[in-house]
């Protein structure tokens, strides 16, 4: 007899195998490892003699994983294992836990067994309290003695099998252990009702068993056969989710040498086991055994009774071996004939005549739910006739026998026809199941698993097309699969083929309307950018862009056809709402789309357009909540998380935005959109760090890495323009810290040039290059050079940017800065500056009018008015009216930006100039200026301009020693600093 600690060691090794398998699978999902690399590691593991190494160890040795990645994957797996709708957590144990804890027999490791909720062939299942993590769990305790070899091994095999499976319909094993000789497994607690006791409509039964079949298909794909499918092992939780339970009789098909059952063993629940199980045959280890169990489970769900019943176990087995079940339609006279046909085909006593897979079984259930014909009826009739012949062999010699033979011959012809039809519809079945499986995997966040379905489907589609096996439904399904994979162009081509085969396909009409609406929206964005169109200008847009009118008419035609053909209301509402969104009819779009998602919550395209419509109406809280709900329903539909990332970035929720992008990249490391959003978020964070006096270098490094990887994956104008901003910020920080900014500006301008070359109609790209050139001109001015040609080139870029889009407030603010520094250069060279100062103020006023202004806008305008007033004073005029306006701007700026050293320094310079101008009456201004500079240096002790301004203030107040020290510090920090006005 093995000692308890031997069993504990076995379980520790077992859970190590489970966790290792889960880490390897999660590494593929996270993008650290490709499926091919994982398969290669598995092969290496299988070839090792003796104790094989862990997969994670092999992947680490090969450089794909490291300790940090493994730790992150383990943390993610631990969290995911308990993300269940019915799970509740609380810091204090509920009263029933405290009561159960009084009984020492209810103690099991760090769990308290509270209530027995089920019993199976290998153990009892308890609702238990986890004392360590303060939550409810399900604990399965083995009822086999430690020495009961095969029973114990079956229990352990369940842990290994469930640990390998990651599917929303399969309950994972989270932990295993041994306590006082009792072996146990820990799982999330799924509270609900099994099909054994549940009562539901036939349609709901089809939905539940179909979901179970798709989960079982996933298990089969991992080489795992359940072998004990029955109503008691299919549970529906409180929110309607379906789970397959109890892998206690699991067969791991790739491990034939160590099967836990040998020919002759009879395992399973008698009334639902397949005939080959009842005979103890090796065939019981194949997937069709589970197909039989699914059919038997559906039989029970629609009739309320098992397919076979008898007083004793032996009598039930005898019936399973030799009888056919009573047709369900006899027990439920109004039962849909298609349900009976599907059940009888799944439960055929010959495995070869059943559905070949759980996916095929699920596909026929899906046809019933879609009110279509199934593949089962013709073959079911023929098989019943053949069984009748076998039972009435003597009847062949009679006239009745001749009639019977004629019937069989006629039915056989029908069977041959059905077989040909099945050959043609094989692709249809595969396409439907592939799509359903892909969407289920995507909604669970398993994008790697979803994408693995694509190559087989594409290969099968191409082969079938070569044989002329085209149908409208297949083209629709393949196109829908491509849209699920976000390949809209390929998706549209398949929907066009579908409609050529069947112009009345409502599904394809809807898909084409959705896809054309997305294309329409992208074209509208381009047209509005280039033509500077706003609401009310759509006729002008359609005159300049005839493609817009053509697309609009096509979409409306498809919608009219949908309504005329009686397409589902939710489908029509979604299509109309999406079109309304792209036509900027926001309120109408929100009404239509809200109705669509209320009726059918899994329409991802409707959620996406609904969130964007709310955002377009500046209902930002509503838009964020809409994205959040959509993500909860479909973790793998990346546009939802990317959309929320972009929204949060614009709302300055920078940490949350970065988290969204990082979550997308964990699912799809190749997402260019997520890289761009996270890079832009990091760039904005770096801007704030510069304003707060912090070192932005690490943040800028992260942003540049994101943009570099985005460009490596797909060169784009947006990525080049975004990377140019990173280089400009590097230049600003280098200038502030006394470094050389010019190399960074040269690199930035190179990216600006590439952006313009790739997208010459992009207003932002022209404005970005104008900013880069303006910054270089400013530095040339500060160093005493001639910035005139550089400023002129920048002005030409701004003129093009404003021609393309004159409603961008930041463009006007940036051009105002150009005019401001050109005016300052005129002051230095003796030229008249007033026209440039006036142009700068006019541009800033336009910017503030368009955007209502922010703190930085008032810093800029206050600085402009300060300098303009000084120029007036130098010319013999009165600067005080301009300085009064500047004071209003800068008071607002320091209120809005209390941590900005630049805002405090800019006001201090104004107050210093005005205080000196007023003489004795200006002492209050000088005192406030000194306090402002103290605030600036507290915000950023390395801000050279603050030390310089403080030095000049001290010199004006007679503190020559303090002034010299401050100016020395400023020169050390920024050698280019020449005078107090330098920014």
CB of 230 closer than 8 Å to CB of 296: yes
905 neighbors 857 (Cβ within 8 angstroms): no
What pairing do the DSSP bridges indicate for beta strands 192-194 and 175-179? unpaired
State the Rg of the chain over Cα: 36
Q: Provide the 8-state DSSP code for 327.
A: P
Q: Which has the closest alpha carbon to 484: 527, 528, 514? A: 514
> Nearest CA to 316 among 354, 352, 260, 266?
266
Question: What's the gap between Cα 339 and its chain centre?
Answer: 36
Parallel, antiparallel, or unpaired for β 234-237 and 242-244? antiparallel
Burial level of 919, CB count in 10 A (0-12/13-18/19+)? exposed
| Residue 564 CA to its chain's centroid (Å) | 36
Under a CB-based contact definition with an 8 Å cutoff, are residues 127 and 114 in contact?
yes
Distance in angstroms (rounded) separating the CA atoms of residues 748 and 727: 5
CA distance 537 to 546: 14
Task: Please answer whether residues 749 and 774 qualify as being in contact, where contact means their C-beta atoms are separated by less than 8 angstroms.
Answer: no
Cα–Cα distance for residue pair 341/325, rounded to 1 Å: 12
The catalytic residue positions are 228
With beta carbons less than 8 A apart as the criterion, state whether 665 and 671 touch: yes
- Rounded Cα distance, 273 and 297, in Å: 10
Q: Are 214 and 357 in contact (CB under 8 A)?
A: no
Q: How many CB atoms lie within 10 A of CB 304?
A: 11
Helical H segments across 502-537, by residue range: 506-531
Sequence-distant (≥ 6) Cβ neighbours of residue 539 within 8 angstroms: none
Q: Which of 260, 280, 272, 308 is nearest to 195 (CA)?
A: 272
- The residue written with tokens 């961008």 in the block is 808
Whole-angstrom CA distances from 881 to 326, 559, 644, 857, 913 are 100, 63, 46, 20, 13
Q: Which helix (H) or strand (E) holds 274?
A: none
Burial class of residue 470, CB neighbours in 10 A (0-12, 13-18, 19+)? middle
Distance between CA atoms of 789 and 523, rounded to whole angstroms?
37
State residue 237 phi and psi, 5-degree precision: -85, -175
Rounded Cα gap, residues 149 and 921, in angstroms: 99
* Dihedral in degrees, nearest 10, Cα atoms 548, 549, 555, 559: 150
Q: How do strand 175-179 and strand 182-188 relate by DSSP bridges? A: antiparallel
| d(C-alpha 928, C-alpha 930), whole Å | 5
As a whole number of angstroms, the distance between CA 172 and CA 81 comes to: 6
- φ, ψ of residue 129 to 5 degrees: the values are -105, 130
Say what the alpha-carbon torsion angle 798, 804, 810, 814 is, to the nearest 10 degrees: 0
Residues with Cβ < 8 Å from 950, sequence gap 6 or more?
908, 930, 933, 937, 966
Dihedral sign from CA coordinates of 529, 534, 537, 539: positive
Beta carbons of 22 and 166 less than 8 angstroms apart: yes
């Amino acid at each position: 007899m093995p000692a308890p600690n031997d069993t504990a060691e076995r379980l520790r090794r077992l859970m190590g195998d489970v966790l290792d398998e889960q880490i390897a699978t999660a590494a593929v999902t996270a993008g650290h490892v490709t499926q091919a690399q994982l398969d290669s590691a598995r092969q290496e593991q299988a070839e090792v003699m003796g104790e094989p190494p862990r997969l994670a160890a092999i992947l680490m040795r090969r450089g794909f994983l490291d300790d940090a990645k493994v730790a992150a994957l383990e943390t993610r797996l631990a969290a995911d294992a308990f993300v269940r709708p019915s799970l509740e957590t609380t810091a204090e144990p509920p009263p029933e836990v405290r009561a159960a804890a009084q009984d020492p027999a209810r103690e099991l490791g760090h769990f308290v067994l509270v209530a027995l909720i089920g019993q199976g062939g290998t153990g009892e299942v308890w609702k238990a309290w986890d004392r360590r993590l303060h939550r409810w769990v399900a604990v399965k305790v083995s009822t086999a003695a430690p020495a009961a070899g095969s029973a114990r091994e079956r229990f352990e095999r369940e842990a290994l099998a469930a640990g390998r499976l990651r599917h929303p319909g399969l309950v994972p094993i989270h932990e295993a252990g041994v306590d006082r000789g009792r072996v146990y497994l820990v799982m999330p607690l799924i509270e609900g009702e099994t099909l054994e006791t549940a009562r539901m409509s036939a349609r709901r039964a089809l939905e539940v068993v179909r979901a179970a079949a798709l989960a079982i298909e996933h298990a089969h794909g991992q080489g795992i056969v359940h072998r004990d499918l029955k109503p008691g092992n299919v549970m529906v939780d409180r929110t309607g989710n379906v789970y397959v339970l109890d892998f206690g009789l699991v067969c791991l098909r790739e491990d034939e040498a160590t099967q836990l059952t040998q020919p002759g063993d009879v395992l399973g629940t008698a009334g639902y086991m397949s005939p080959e199980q009842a005979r103890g045959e090796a065939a019981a280890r194949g997937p069709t055994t589970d197909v039989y169990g699914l059919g038997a489970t559906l039989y029970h769900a629609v009739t309320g009774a098992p397919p076979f019943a008898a007083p004793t176990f032996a009598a039930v087995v005898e019936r399973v071996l030799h009888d056919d079940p009573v047709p369900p339609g006899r027990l439920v006279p109004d039962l849909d004939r298609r349900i009976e046909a599907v059940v009888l085909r799944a439960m055929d006593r010959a495995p070869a005549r059943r559905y070949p897979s759980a996916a095929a079984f699920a596909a026929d259930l899906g046809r019933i739910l879609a009110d279509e014909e199934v593949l089962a009826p013709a073959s079911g009739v023929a098989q019943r006739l053949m069984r009748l012949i076998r039972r009435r062999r003597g009847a062949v010699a009679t006239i009745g026998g001749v009639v019977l033979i004629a019937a069989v011959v006629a039915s056989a012809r029908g069977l041959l026809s059905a077989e040909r039809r099945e050959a043609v519809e094989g692709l249809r079945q595969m396409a439907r199941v592939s799509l359903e499986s892909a969407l289920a995997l995507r909604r669970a966040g398993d994008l790697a698993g979803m994408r693995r379905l694509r190559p087989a489907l594409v290969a099968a589609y191409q082969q079938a097309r070569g044989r002329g096996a085209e149908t409208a439904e297949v083209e629709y399904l393949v196109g829908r699969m491509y849209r699920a994979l976000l390949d809209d162009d390929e998706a549209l081509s398949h929907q066009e083929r579908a409609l050529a085969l069947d112009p009345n396909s409502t599904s394809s009409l809807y898909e084409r309307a959705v896809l054309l609406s997305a294309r329409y929206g992208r074209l509208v964005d381009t047209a509005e950018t280039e033509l500077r169109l706003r609401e009310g200008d759509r006729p002008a847009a359609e005159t300049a862009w005839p493609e817009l009118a053509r697309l609009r008419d096509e979409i409306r035609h498809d919608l009219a056809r949908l309504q005329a053909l009686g397409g589902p209301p939710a489908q029509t509402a979604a299509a109309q709402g999406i079109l309304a969104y792209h036509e900027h009819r926001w309120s109408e779009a929100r009404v239509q789309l809200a109705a669509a998602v209320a009726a059918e919550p899994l329409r991802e395209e409707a959620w996406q357009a609904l969130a964007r419509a709310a955002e377009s109406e500046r209902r930002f809280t509503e838009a964020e909540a809409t994205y959040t709900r959509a993500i909860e329903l479909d973790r793998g539909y990346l546009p939802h998380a990317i959309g929320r990332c972009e929204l949060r970035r614009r709302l300055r929720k920078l940490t949350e935005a970065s988290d969204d992008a990082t979550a997308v990249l964990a699912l799809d490391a190749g997402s260019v959109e997520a890289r761009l959003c996270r890079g832009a978020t990091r760039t904005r964070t770096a801007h704030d760090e510069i304003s707060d006096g912090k070192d932005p270098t690490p943040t800028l490094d992260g942003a540049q890495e994101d943009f570099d990887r985005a460009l490596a994956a797909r060169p784009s104008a947006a990525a080049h323009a975004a990377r140019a901003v990173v280089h400009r910020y590097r230049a600003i920080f280098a200038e502030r810290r006394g470094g050389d900014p010019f190399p960074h500006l040269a690199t930035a301008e190179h990216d600006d040039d590439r952006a313009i070359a790739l997208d010459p109609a992009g207003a932002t790209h022209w404005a970005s290059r104008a900013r880069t050139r303006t910054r270089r001109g400013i530095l040339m001015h500060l160093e005493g050079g001639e910035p005139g040609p550089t400023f002129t080139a920048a002005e030409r870029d701004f003129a093009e940017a404003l021609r393309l889009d004159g409603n961008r407030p930041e463009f006007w603010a940036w051009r105002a800065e150009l005019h401001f520094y050109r005016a300052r250069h005129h002051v230095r060279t003796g030229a008249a500056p007033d026209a440039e100062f006036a142009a700068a103020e006019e541009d800033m006023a336009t910017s503030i009018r368009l955007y209502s202004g922010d703190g930085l806008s008032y810093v800029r305008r206050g600085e402009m008015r300060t300098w303009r007033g000084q120029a007036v004073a130098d010319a013999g005029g009165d600067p005080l009216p301009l300085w009064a306006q500047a004071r209003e701007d800068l008071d607002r700026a320091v209120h809005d930006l209390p941590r900005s050293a630049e805002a405090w320094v800019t006001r201090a310079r104004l107050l210093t100039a005005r205080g000196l101008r007023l003489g004795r009456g200006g002492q209050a201004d000088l005192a406030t200026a000194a306090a402002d500079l103290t605030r600036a240096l507290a915000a950023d002790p390395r801000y050279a301009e603050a030390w310089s301004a403080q030095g000049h203030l001290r010199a004006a107040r007679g503190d020559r020693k303090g002034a010299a020290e401050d100016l020395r510090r400023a020169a050390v920090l920024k050698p280019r600093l020449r005078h107090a006005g330098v920014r």
